[in-house]
Amino acid sequence: MLEQNLAALPIILPLIAAPLAIILGRTMPIWILATLVSGCASIISLQLLDTVLTTGVISYAVGGWQAPWGIELRIDTANAFVLVAVTAISTLVLLFSKDSIVKEIDCSKHALFYTAHLLCLAGLSGILITGDAFNLFVFLEISSLATYTLVSLARDKRCLTAAFRYLVMGTIGATFILIGVGLLYMKTGTLNMLDLATRIDLYDSSRTINTGLAFIIVGVSIKLALFPLHMWLPPAYTHAPSAVTAFLASTATKVAVYVMVRFIFTIFGASYVFHSMGMETILMLFAIIAIFKCSYTAAMQKNVKSTLAYSSVAQIGYMVLGISLVNVTGLMSGLLHIFNHALMKGALFMAVGAVFYRLGSADISAFKGLGKRMPLTMAAFTLAGLSIIGVPLTVGFISKWYLVTAALEQSHWFIAAAVLGGSLLAVVYIGRILEAAYFQEPDEANVAKISEAPLSMLIPMWILVIANIYFGIDTSFTTEAAQHAAELLFQNGQVMEVKP
Amino acid sequence: MNFLDIISSLLLFAGTFFAFSGAVGLFRFPDFFTRVHAASLTDSIAAILMIAGLLLQTSFDLNTAKLIFILVFLLITSPTASHALAKSARHGGLLLFTEKPTKQGGTNQDD
Amino acid sequence: MNLILDYYNYWIVVFLMMTGFYIVISANNLVKKVVGLNIFQTSVFMMYISMGKVAGGTAPIVVDDNTLYSNPLPHVLILTAIVVGVATTAVGLSLIIRIKRAYGTVEENEFEHEDDAI
Amino acid sequence: MIEWIDLILLGMLALTALRVIFLKDLFAVVMLFGIYSFLSALVFIVLDAVDVAFTEAAVGAGISTVLMLGTLALTGRTEKENTHSKLLPILVVSVTGAALIYGTLDMPPFGNPDNPIHQHVAPRYIEDSPKEVGLPNMVTSVLASYRGFDTLGETVVVFSAAIGVLALLGIRREEDNNTPESGFKEHRVLQIVAKITIPLVILFALYVQFHGDFGPGGGFQAGVIAAAAFILYGLVFGLAKSMAVISPMFLRYMAASGVLLYAGVGLFSMMQGGNFLDYNLLASDPVAGQHYGILIIELGVGITVFAVMLTIFYAFASQTERSNIQ
Amino acid sequence: MNIWQGFEPATLIALSICIPFIGAILVIATGKSPNLREASTLAIAALLFTIVLAITDLTFSGVGQRLDLIEVFPQLTISFSVEPLGVLFALVASFLWIITTIYAIGYMRGHNEKNQTRFFCCFALAISSVMAICFSDNLLTLFIFYEVLTLSTYPLVTHAGNDAAKKGGRIYLGILLGTSVAFLLFAILGTYSLTGTLDFKAGGIFDASHSKLVLSCLLVLFCYGIGKAAIMPFHRWLPAAMVAPTPVSALLHAVAVVKAGVFSILKVMIYIFGLDMLKELSTTDVMLYIGATTVLLSSCIAMTKDNLKARLAYSTVSQLSYIVVGALLATSIASAGAAMHIATHAVGKITLFFCAGAIMVASHKKNISDMVGLGRQMPITMTAFAIGAISIIGLPPMAGTWSKWYLVLGALEADKLFIVAVLMISSLLNIAYLLPIPVKAFFYPQEGQNTPWDKHDIKEAPLPMLLALTITSMGCLALFFYPQPLLDLINLIPGISTQLDGGR
């Protein structure tokens, strides 16, 4: 029974666990339930990835109704790969949040926090696994609603305005996606992604499809915080509880990137999007601006969380840049960076969360002198920060390597130079924080309070850090999966690689 | 067009007339209470007339019963709503209010 | 003329959508923003329902064998979307209430001094 | 004829929407939104979408408007002068609108039965669903069976909304919160009428719930209507009494159990060896199985929607009451 | 004698990289007791040297040695192999590590520095990455450890922890990381996308099919990307990093870091471009003249500096460009001279730095103008300084003579008389800014004192420091009289020879 239904389980498990959690009512059992469920989901998704890599695409008809009529769950390498990252991060964040939220969320709301987390996980898994364009919208909304809730749980009142802004922008984005899907449906009469893909080819140059593409791209761009549409992200990440930020920063926007990949490559087909519509130029432009503008803004921030939030926007620029290069390596680097960035940002935000736990602040000034007082936390921060910069032997280097290789394959020398230039800015914003931590004396008021973070926070943080280094050295797992996924996506669209 | 149809359309026309006059009243009357008065009275009579007109269009099956239910419901709720409105307006000490037409719409939904 | 007959419905719906969208992005008051969001979404629903319509068809509930029915699928999708919309509205409004309590205002331009504008 | 009705309704919608832009009185804005919702429900009926119209009227015009009014009671009823430049919004909106109009130019004509969406997937729903699923209401068949997963998702969305509202506002049960009463509570006429209507409304809700297979209606509408009955009760008799009838805690369990009921059907069908939500396996005869499945999941939906709507109302209303006291 | 007889070559390479790393861990483990900590550092350093000697032995006997680790990218593994140039650098680095450790013990204790454990730990890490750089088999491996080296030396540069140190550290990290990411990584990726390989191969990996224009650009990128070679205008980090404690300056900025830079440049020139290809590129000359300008300009700047360490730093910048110039001359002899200069400059410059540190510890003097007459107080130190200075200038009988000799020969062979002139002028400048220091120390009286020299005036630095600087100054002498092993090693490099006809 399990074997056959494996594909549906990553959605169903958290989906069922969420109401169960409400019935359980007490925080501790809920935490155990949530962690167990999330852990199971990550094991299942690993299993799924393995299956997909060995035997090929898994298709699962929900309700037994075949594809264009019923809803299909469809797992190929791309979503299995991202799913592994999402579920694994979720599990680690849950481990981390047990202590972390004590300081940041009112006690009475802990149960709701875990429930919302489970709902968010269910939504994200649903987005990843589903093979139906409208079903994707439904799960997008589940995850979004849960996300708004999660963001607004913090004690700082600024989280409220941040969450509201997120809600408005997110809903506009979702509505745009809805409009886009509607236009596609209108023209093709189907909602199933594969079916859409084959039928869209019949109407390639139709103005309706063009508009549909534009709306979907804009809608998804809001969700993934691509440059001019990123305004919701920094405040939301800055003011949300750290555990939430760690989870969202490493999963939510990444899933949105996946959605963009899915729409562009599987549904519309790369040659249509890029050749006929010239989308790559626009995406590339915004990605490059995102990298520079947001890295620069990140270096200007006083708050470490908002530095990292801006850095996230910049890093999303790298992913979109990879997509916009229109070759297997570029797409692969994008997918790879989804995974890798999840590892680094997860670790970084956890470290910040640990600091927040001890000091109640995430300002740079709070980091002064922490190198001595919270050595393990700051060591984790340092290593993950190096990974963001793209220092060799970390995952950041790997994704950057492939991205630049892809740019050079397409003879975009300037893009390659820009990518590397962008990482210099990362040196600046990470360097500022490290300098405060290692070379400045702590403020008098803080000295007494500082000691190392509790183990329950250090362990997940260090698991991520070690993963950062492990996957930076033994890249066979990640690159193979990403490579396979990228190749598959290019084949799916039945188009050859676009050569310059 | 048979006899029933003619009666039915007459009823419907009468209903629309009253509904329309109610709407005019909402705009033309000078203050809140007179407006509520105009709206609620015409509302009831319009509902009765229209539903009666519609009843004649049915073939006396389930739909007839449904229409009668609707009529009963409207006859209970609509005056109550007007009453509640007027009373709370007085309770709140309001005498003149310019946004009444919209308020009318609101009470209908609140029930 | 044909063009107008074919598309007038969509054009008006587009106009409605854009009105809602305009309210969302230009409104100063947060409640009004939410109202705008709802108008925006409701208009999108109308677009979906419009495409499901078949001229001369009836509601997709079986009457007898030879009836022309409108397409039920858009109806299903929009049923879902309406509920999604009200869920978002509820959360949005709760946020507004909390914002009012925390900041004492729900006007967008009154936040700017506190470095957390909406 | 239909076109003219459609056109007039759309024109009224346009007027309503435009008015919303310029009005500063938020109370009027919210009321206009209610009207907008009603009008769009009418449009839906004209366009044959009766289920949707039902839902829009109950959810959009009913619940949403009540919630907005509840919010207004706390936040004040006038919008302040907007200091932002209007230029950028107008620009964004015109560009978006222009893109959409551009997109309409290649759309399949309105109402044409040869359109792709009437040719590709839908025919099976129309022709086979009465046989495969056995229900006359195709919308219910598609909603609950073919696209049952969407509906599960939708139920979860509603559930998430409850989580969100609870996390944000919470429900205060203050014992002494019946001190100063709003106008309604001393209101004899209202109380009597409410006592008469509430049972009728609940009865109607049950009708909608179980008749959804044959006519317009189903779990969502039923849940909302039932919730409306209790909301009326709460408004007229005070929140405390309403909470005494159905406690917030109980509602939480209800909301959760509705989702669990729905998902449980899916799990059960998995245990029977089928796919998730495969109702064919619920009984020996597939059509009967479909019928059971749809009945149960609609019940689950109804329970969750009812509980969530009422929870949200409680949350909002308990805020209002508190501010009344202040 | 050879205790490593029975070991596989691959194991030896692995050991040479791991041993310092283990040393770093040992240092942390024994951090509580300074004596144990320093003893273990010394033991590890000595052990490392023996390993490198064993590797040298194998190299001479022509045994191919390589070690493949993990495949990071397709067809790109982190792998190591031994080739003569690397061995040369490894020998120098591992030998001087021992000496510097001895010296550092004296210095750190004499100066009562804080955070000594961190110091020794990072020190060992730096050596570990230097070993990895020495034996790297492809550009990827080289790049990885190049970055590791930068990062592991950053805490050493900012050791003092004050504002000046932080500022210096920022410049250090900014320039080194910046150039390496923006230019070097770019150049590496460009090379990879052109050729599909990054392996170091005798004669280079480019061939006629590659566009000369692109290759010329790559050459510039490589030269500036390897910021550790301190070609102007990216030399600022070197003087900035002089805020570090003297042993750090000594080892890192005379041996490990800067030499890793020029070593990388040599490797790239010899094994990636190939000397023949290099001759045909249009930018080779451009870079050559920039190198020559660096030589002269930084010598001039050095003269204006009164702070001894700053003067030495600019002297280093100038000397590094000798090596770059040697590489870019693209003749076999010049390259040999450049390789030789790695060793000879290392011993010379480290002597000078040791002396500077000794002066600082013993008499707390930083500025040259204060050192007049210091020869009376610190005769041994000042003698060593004189030896080092002469070696740097390139006068017999010191080691520097040989390398400069070959460089000039190479310039002549390449028909670049301009370069010959530059080398000569620069030697004169060297004399002008280095020689006055010992001369004034010995032959000018200290201000206000005119008494004859007395034994009691002597106030030398602690013994370990003296020991270290004596050994290195002896090294300067020894390498002049007995350079043959080095030359043999250099002659093993494919395509490089100290013979005029290119060894044919």
Residues of D in contact with C43 (CB under 8 A): 17, 40
What is the domain extent for residue C43?
2-56+66-114
- pLDDT confidence tier of residue D30, bands split at 50, 70 and 90: very high
Å between A445 CA and nearest CA of chain C: 25
Residues of D in contact with C39 (CB under 8 A): 17, 20, 33, 36
For residue B111, pLDDT over 50 is answered with: no
> What is the structure's pLDDT at B101?
46
Peptide bond into E245 cis (omega under 30): no
- Note whether A138 and C76 are within 8 A (CB): no
Nearest to A23 among D116, D120, D256 (CB): D256
Nearest to E314 by CA among E349, E347, E285: E349
Tens of pLDDT, residues A290-312:
999 999 999 988 899 999 999 99
Least confident of A73-82, C80-89, E325-334: E325-334
Tens of pLDDT, residues D162-207:
999 999 988 876 554 544 445 455 678 888 888 888 998 999 999 9
Tens of pLDDT, residues B72-97:
888 888 888 888 888 877 776 665 54
- pLDDT confidence tier of residue E340, bands split at 50, 70 and 90: confident
Assigned domain for C61 exists: no
Helices (H), E268-371: 275-280, 282-304, 308-328, 332-363
Å between A149 CA and nearest CA of chain C: 8
What is the residue-averaged pLDDT of chain A? 88
For residue E63, pLDDT over 80 is answered with: no
CATH 3.40.309.10 fits D1-80, yes or no: no
Assigned domain for E461 exists: yes
Residues of B in contact with D200 (CB under 8 A): 73
Nearest to D75 among C7, C60, C106 (CB): C106
DSSP secondary-structure letter at E65?
-
Q: Residue B100 has which token pair?
A: 């009444």
Work out the average pLDDT over A311-321: 92
Nearest to A93 by CA among A118, A111, A112: A118
Which own/partner pairs from B90-93 qualify as long-range (CB within 8 Å, at least 24 positions apart)? Answer: B91/D183, B92/D183
> What is the structure's pLDDT at D108?
85
Å between E344 CA and nearest CA of chain A: 32
- The H-or-E segment that residue A59 falls in is strand A58-61
Tens of pLDDT, residues E352-380:
888 888 888 887 778 888 777 777 778 88
Assigned domain for A498 exists: no
CATH 1.20.120.1200 location in chain D: 1-80
Buried/exposed D5-22: b ≥16 CB within 10 Å, e otherwise: ebeebbebbbebbbbbbe
| Residue D285 or residue D324, greater confidence | D285
Tens of pLDDT, residues A469-498:
999 888 888 888 898 889 888 886 544 333
> What is the structure's pLDDT at D325?
42
Domain total of chain A: 1
Q: Which residue of E has its CA nearest to A439?
A: E161
Centre a 10 Å sphere on the Cβ of residue A115 and count the other Cβ atoms it contains: 31
Nearest to A405 among E145, E166, E192 (CB): E192
For residue E297, pLDDT over 70 is answered with: yes
Helix, coil or strand: residue E416: coil
Backbone angles phi, psi at A60, to 5 degrees: -135, 120
Helices (H), A242-390: 242-261, 270, 279-289, 295-300, 304-324, 328-359, 370-373, 375-389
Domain total of chain E: 1
Assigned domain for C20 exists: yes
CATH number at C30 reads 1.10.287.3510
What is the domain extent for residue E164?
9-492
Touch between chain C and chain E: 3 or more Cβ pairs under 8 Å: no
> What is the structure's pLDDT at A499?
36
Spatial distance between the Cα atoms of A400 and A405, rounded to a whole number of angstroms: 8
Q: Answer whether D149 sits within 8 Å of A60, measured CB to CB.
A: no
Q: Which residue of A has its CA nearest to E196?
A: A405
Q: Answer whether A23 sits within 8 Å of D124, measured CB to CB.
A: no
Nearest to C88 among A134, A171, A185 (CB): A171
Peptide bond into E233 cis (omega under 30): yes
- pLDDT confidence tier of residue E275, bands split at 50, 70 and 90: confident
For residue A213, pLDDT over 80 is answered with: yes
What is the residue-averaged pLDDT of chain B? 79
> What is the structure's pLDDT at B99?
45
> What is the structure's pLDDT at A351?
93
| Residue E286 or residue A122, greater confidence | A122
- Note whether E124 and E44 are within 8 A (CB): yes
- Note whether A283 and A316 are within 8 A (CB): no
> What is the structure's pLDDT at A496?
38
> What is the structure's pLDDT at E1?
47
User: Token match 């309604």: residue?
Assistant: D184
Spatial distance between the Cα atoms of A204 and A196, rounded to a whole number of angstroms: 12
Domain total of chain C: 1
pLDDT > 70: percent of chain A: 96
Å between A288 CA and nearest CA of chain E: 15
What is the domain extent for residue A474?
2-492
